[in-house]
A and B are shown apart, each in its own frame.
Chain A
Amino acid sequence: MPYTSTLSAYLPFFRSPPPRFVTETGEPVWGIMAQFDDVVSAYHAAEKMRDAGFSKWDLHAPFPIHGIEEAMGHKRTILPYIVLVAAFAGIGTAIGMQWWISAIDYPLVVQGKPYGAWEPFAMIIFELGVLFSAFASLFGMMMLNGLPRLHHPLMLKDSFLDVTDDKFFVVVEATDPSFNPEHTSKFLREIGATAVELVEDA
């Protein structure tokens, strides 16, 4: 059975559209996975996938491959801008909070220093800026990556387990506009895949 949340039972606009493709057994198709046996063919396959204009696809490898971003045509992440905004939010929070507390709400003479002296604020300004930035980096990264998730359709594929050993997988999702089970699997074989398999949405 395809996964449906209880939420979408009550709220129809959360319901996903009907699957574009189904397998012979009637399961909706999540995508296609293609196995590559070595890093060179996987790298060149990534370049060809990029040039063929696929957008919703990914490459899985047992280890990081230098330069794979260019081969896959990845754009740079927007995460730094999220972090920048968070840093300013942290700085603003720190200034506002400390100034309001120690100069307005509860002025207290500490060591004969002025109420609103900026000097002791500086550390907290720095710390909150760093704290907010760190949170934004971590949670922004997870959000952009769609994490955390407990399940993925690829996990049900026994052959995919080799990705932690010595195999490389190019995976194309069915939501890709140029996805078509027959054509895409033919294309993947042409660019050097040693095995191509349909992945059911489960």
Chain B
Amino acid sequence: MSQISAEAYQKVLAGVTGDPRMAEDNVSAPAATAKLSKLLLGIGVVGLLVTLVGGFMLGAQHAMASYLVAVGAVFAMTLGATVLVMSFHLVNAGWCATVRRQFENLMSLAPVTLLMFVPLIVLELFITKGAIWEWLIPGIAEEDPIIAIKTPFLNPAFFTIRFFVYLAILGFLTVRLRGMSIEQDRTGDRFLSARARFMSAWGLPLTALLIAFAGFDYFMSLQPQFFSTMWGIYIFAGGAVSCMGVMVSTFCVLRHAGRLKGLVTDEHFHDLGKLLFAFTCFWAYIGFSQYFLIWYANIPEETFWMLERTTGVWKGTAIFLSVGHFIVPFFFLLPRAIKRNPKLVAIGGAWIIFMHVIDYVWLIRPILHHGDHVPTPMSWWLDIAAIVGVFGIFFGLFVARVGSSPLTPLQDPKLPESMSHKNYV
């Protein structure tokens, strides 16, 4: 790696900081973020209270499953953002320097969303014991040999330890990576980028393992007889595509508020739209591969899970998911002109976020259709309440994060490249 001298680099930085596009009113968050954040948090608290009431009315299991749907969806989003930020650092990407801060804001909520699992874990370990995570039902290991052989992994002690390991890894990586970026705003130290790159190099494989194991723990172990080796990558694919959905929507709103003019241009939207499109295809590819292998191999431990979700009452959801999460966004995002139109690509992104929630409903909610308690469609208000509650809290915190720092890195060494970024195709 060739380096330019410190004096020469100071000149480069002076060119960036002196650029009219880096003016205070272009890179600072709109004043409305504080108000919007409070509003969203308020909606979130109301939603969660309704969920709590619903838990007493319709049973704790239903409320917990609905809450897990919502928390799982936002948790996957933050994991997608974590992987994307580290990938940007790792490949030394230039085009994304001006958009990276919002990815970092989303990423920094990963430990927060992980903490949102705490009420569920505490309830499951001490009070409801196996209402949603079936392997926690006392004595089930003696009855079910498949669960019995999985007890070395699926036991309360190890489950709790793993939670703290995830928290430590995600907490350290996300706080440190975002912190270095904010520190660079202040000091202009170009070697912070190199340190972030080094951290991403070991952090990325660790995060990949974390996604897989957290996916096993919180979503796959709902039905512990089932296993799929594509589970981790499926969780990542959904998280990455919904993360891109949040990002394009955020940038569209920020541009509408008159911010980031000339910094996040149609060229950046084109590239963000390409990533959104690519991860949409990736999600479909992984989702189909998982379904196809289970369908072909025809092993009862696997097929029962897929049968529940592709036949009977959940068949319609499965079809809606493949059409709405893949075919519609695929053709919508295919034309170049749409990817270069911030409003249209943001509509695509918002739709993807909605479908991402449906994806988690499809993954998690069928567990309620076991045994004697089968929820009627009239009870869907509880799911909506939990989703509104968790999304309100999550986006309230996200908007607060957006407002807490400059909207773009201020002294990143890649800024000159990003500010003159252009797609030549």
A residues bordering B, Cβ < 8 Å? 66-67, 80, 111-112, 119-120, 122
Contacting residues, chain A, for B424 (C-beta < 8 A): 66-67
Report the minimal beta-carbon distance from B416 to chain A, rounded to whole angstroms: 16
Contact between chains at A119 and B298 (CB < 8 Å): no
B295 contacts the other chain (CB 8 A): yes
Quick check: B296 and A111 within 8 Å, CB to CB?
A: yes
Query: Is B202 in contact with chain A by the CB < 8 A criterion?
Result: no
Is residue B164 within 8 Å, beta carbon to beta carbon, of the partner chain? no
15 A–B contact pairs at CB < 8 A? A66-B422, A66-B424, A67-B422, A67-B424, A80-B336, A111-B296, A111-B298, A112-B298, A119-B291, A119-B292, A119-B295, A119-B296, A120-B296, A122-B288, A122-B292
In the complex, A80 Cα to B425 Cα: how many Å?
A: 12
Bound together, the chains give a CA A67 to CA B298 distance in angstroms of 55
Q: Distance (Å) between the CB of B230 and the closest chain A CB?
A: 15
Nearest residue (CB) in B for A84 is B334
- Which residue of A is nearest B285, CB measured? A126
In angstroms, Cα B296 to Cα A111, docked, is 8
CB-defined contacts of A66 to chain B, threshold 8 Å: 422, 424
Smallest CB–CB gap between B82 and chain A, Å? 30
Chain B window 264-295, contacts with chain A (Cβ cutoff 8 Å), 1 for yes, 0 for no: 00000000000000000000000010011001
Give bound CA distance, A122 to B422, whole Å: 36
Complex CA distance for A120 and B336, rounded to whole angstroms: 31
For B422, list chain A residues within 8 Å (CB): 66-67
- CB nearest to A68 among chain B residues: B424
Question: 12 new A-B pairs (CB below 8 Å) besides A119-B292, A119-B296, A120-B296?
Answer: A66-B422, A66-B424, A67-B422, A67-B424, A80-B336, A111-B296, A111-B298, A112-B298, A119-B291, A119-B295, A122-B288, A122-B292
Q: How far is the CA of A122 from the CA of B424 in the complex (A)?
A: 33
**Residues of A close to B291: CB separation below 8 A:** 119
Give the chain B neighbours of A112 by CB distance below 8 A: 298
How far does the alpha carbon of A119 sit from the alpha carbon of B422 in the complex, in Å?
41
- Chain B residues within 8 Å of A122, by CB: 288, 292
